[in-house]
Amino acid sequence: MSLWVDKHRPTSLSKLDFHKAQAKRLKNLVQQGDFPHLLVFGPSGAGKKTRVLCLLRELYGAGVERLRMENTSFTTPSNKKVELMIISSNYHMEVNPSDVNIYDRVVVQELLKTVAQTHQFDATGQREFKVIVVTSADQLTKDAQHALRRTMEKYMATCRLILVANSASKVIAPIRSRCLGVRVPAPTIEEIAAIVTGVGKKESTLVPPELAKRIAESSNRNLRLALLSLQAARVQQYPFTPDQSVPSQDWLTYLRETANMIVKEQSPQMLFQVRERLYELLTRGVPPGLIFKGLRVLVRNCYDAQLKMEVVERASMLDHRLQQGSKAIFHLEAFVAQFMSLYRRFMSKKIEML
């Protein structure tokens, strides 16, 4: 049994469910047989990857779906070997260079040059270029991004890059100016609800409209999440009832509990307990950025606008440091501690005033 997300992924540009106008333009682009480098950006679960795959299919035909995986090793200047998995078909290649952390520059340099310097043997009946899809391009280090600049221009004749990123601001300006930006906004709640119902129908599962709406709302406009929770709900209980609970991810529940603990009591002991829980989350592989985003619900629990703003200011500062630093736990803990102290000071002032 495959996941419904993958099973019902649209495979051609004309079958896409939302942003139809954009799909049409992409189609125009492909029909001319050629396109510039692309930078596809949008929040997660908005269908960036789906669009890229549709585009490739439109361009090369069904051949792009015959994928193979290979582990390629690269040698860094300091003679360290790094391994990276590359998913490729005859026509394109998909890499995530940020998997190798700071060595991504080496990967970008080596890989692009080798691919770009080889030519298709028989150009008749084929495209003259290969496509390299670079996922999470915003995670690339600045070095790697600079390395892309001139390469992108130089090898234009033999290869096209499709950069997939969550946000365009983290991609440096010189690269943005060399790419055609494709903005993929998140689908609206109504669109998600419609798709959820549609997928249900294809799986001969009847989804009550109330439930579809609630699934869509709880997904934060993330279509992938919505479909996953639909499938989870199906496993949990079927036939559906309109007031059925939408299963949420357990790490999110765990995080919410942690946030509640912080609001309930502010003391060194509690900080200690929270720290353990944060560690738990980190060791389970929840990215620190997401934990931060989860903890911001704390802000909603503040009663005072002034306090809220102060907490937001601290949060944004620490989030920045988190990106810069190496140990996530320090910054997460710092945020919790700062929040506790701010909150407590505020509360005691309130009590005094009474």
Partner 1 sequence: MQSFLKTGKLGPQEKPATSGSSQKKKTSVCTPWVEKYRPRTVNDVVEQGDVVEVLRQCLGGADLPNLLFYGPPGTGKTSTILAAARQLFGDIYKDRILELNASDERGIQVIRDKVKKFSQLTASSMRPDGRPCPPFKIVVLDEADSMTHAAQAALRRTMEKESKSTRFCLICNYVSRIIQPLTSRCTKFRFKALGEEKILERLQLICKEEGVNCSEEVLQLLVQTSEGDLRRAITCLQSCAKLVDKGTTVCPTDVLEVTGVVPEQWLEELVTVCRADDYARLESFVERLSCEAYAVSQLMDQLLKMIISAENISDRQKAVICEKIALCQWRVSDGASEYLELLDLGCAMAKALRS
Residues in region 115-174 near partner 1 by CB under 8 A:
116-117, 119, 128-129, 138, 143, 146-151, 153-158, 167-170, 172-174
> Which runs of E-coded beta strand occur in 167-260?
180-183
Minimum distance, C-beta of residue 20 to partner 1, in the bound complex (Å): 14
- Does residue number 109 form part of the binding site for partner 1 (CB under 8 A)? yes
Measured over the CA atoms of residue 28, residue 32, residue 36 and residue 40, the dihedral's sign is positive
CA distance 42 to 44: 7
Using CB under 8 A, which of the segments 52-60, 62-70, 113-121, 261-269 binds partner 1?
113-121
In the bound state with partner 1, the residue whose beta carbon lies nearer, of 277 and 308, is 308
Contacts of partner 1 in 18-77 (CB under 8 A): 25, 28-29, 32-36, 41-43, 46, 77
Is residue 315 a contact residue for partner 1 (CB under 8 A)?
yes
Residue 217 in contact with partner 1, rule: CB under 8 A: no
Size of residue set near partner 1 by CB under 8 A: 72
Pairing of strands 81-88, 92-95: antiparallel
Binders of partner 1 in range 238-267 (CB under 8 A): none
| Interaction of residue 295 with partner 1, rule CB under 8 A | no
Local structure of residue 175 (DSSP, 8 states): H
Tell me how far, at minimum, the Cβ of 240 lies from partner 1, in Å: 27
Q: Is 281 in the site for partner 1 (CB under 8 A)?
A: no
| Integer Cα distance of 140 and 108 in angstroms | 10
Q: Which of 7, 15, 66, 183 binds partner 1 (CB under 8 A)?
A: 183
The long-range contacts involving 16-20, CB below 8 angstroms and separated by at least 24 positions, are 16/47, 16/50, 16/51, 16/54, 17/187, 17/191, 17/194, 17/195, 17/198, 18/47, 18/187, 18/188, 18/191, 18/195, 19/47, 19/184, 19/185, 19/187
